[in-house]
Amino acid sequence: MKDPKDEKGIHTDFSSRMTYGEYLSLGQLLGSQNRLSGHHDEMLFIIIHQVSELWMKLILHELQASIQAIEDGNLSMAFKMLARVSKIQSQIIESWDVLSTLTPSEYVQFRDKLGQASGFQSHQYRLIEFALGYKTTHVLEIYKKDEGLHSELSKALNSPSIYDVSIQALAKAGLPIRDEILSRDLSLTYKGDPSVEAAWLEVYRNPGTYWDLYELAEKLIDIEDWLQQWRFRHMKTVERIIGFKKGTGGSSGVTYLKKVLDHRFFPELWDIRTKL
C-alpha cells in the first residue's frame, strides 16, 4: 500500500482554507448524538433515526423537484430524480437490519428516557406522505408547538402531490380525465377514479405512443413498492423489539403500523395490472 507521505501534492495547511469537516459541518453533526441514559445501545438508536431523517431530507429534495419537473412537462428530468429516490429508499430499508440488532432487554433500559417522543412525530415523513398524496389533517395538531413546521406542513397539505401532477400530465397528453378530478381539493387524500384508470390502461396498452407516461408510471410504482417494503420492515422491527406495546408517542404501535400497510398511494397503477 502506498504511504500517504509519498503524495507530495496533499494539502496540509488549512489555516486559511475550508476543511472537509467545515464543509460538512461535522462538528455540529457529530456532536448531535446526545444520549439521555448511560446505556451503550442508545447511541445506535439515535444514529439510526438521525441517518433516516437525513435520507428523508434528500427524498423530499428529489420529490419536490420532480413534482415541479412534471408540472413543467420535463418528464425525463423527473425520471432521474425518482430513480434516485428509489435508491435512497433501499438504503433506509437496510437500516432496519442494523436497528434490529437492538434486543428488547437492551431497549427497555432507556426507552423511558424518550418520554412521548416518537418517530410517529417525524415531520419529514409526513411531508413525504403528503408529496405522495396521502393527506391527513389531524396530524397537524402534533406540530402546533413549532409555528414554522406547522406552516410548512399546512402548505404541503394544500399543494399538488406527485400523483396529482401525473394525472395532470395524462390530461395534457390528450387522455380524457374528469374535470372534477383535475380541479379536486388537493388537501384530501386521492381515492381513485374510473377516468384515471382508463387513461393509465391506454398508456399501458400503447406504451410506444405514450412512452414518457409509461415510464413515469413505472417510476411511481417503484417508489410505492419500496415505501411499502420500508413500512413492513419498520413494523417487523418494532414487533421484534417491543412486541405489541403502545408506541412512546401514544399510537397503538405494531397494530397501527399494520393498518397503514393497506394504504395505496397510486391505486389505478396497481388495479390496471389485473385488467390488462
Binding site: which residues?
45-49, 107, 111, 234, 248
The Cα 77–Cα 109 span in angstroms is 48
What residues form the annotated binding site for substrate?
Answer: 45-49, 107, 111, 248
The Cα 267–Cα 263 span in angstroms is 9
Residues 170, 187 contacting (CB under 8 angstroms) = no
In terms of Cα–Cα distance, which of 271, 268, 247 is closest to 258?
247
Residues 88, 58 contacting (CB under 8 angstroms) = yes
What residues form the annotated binding site for heme?
Answer: 234
CA 240 → CA 109, 147, 228, 235, distances in Å? 16, 36, 18, 9
Phi, psi of 100 (to 5 degrees): -70, -5
Residue whose cell numbers read 400530465: 169
Q: Which cell is 107 given?
A: 431497549
Residues 254, 238 contacting (CB under 8 angstroms) = yes
H-run or E-run covering 125 = helix 123-132
Residues 131, 63 contacting (CB under 8 angstroms) = yes
CA atoms within 13 Å, Cβ hemisphere of 274: 5
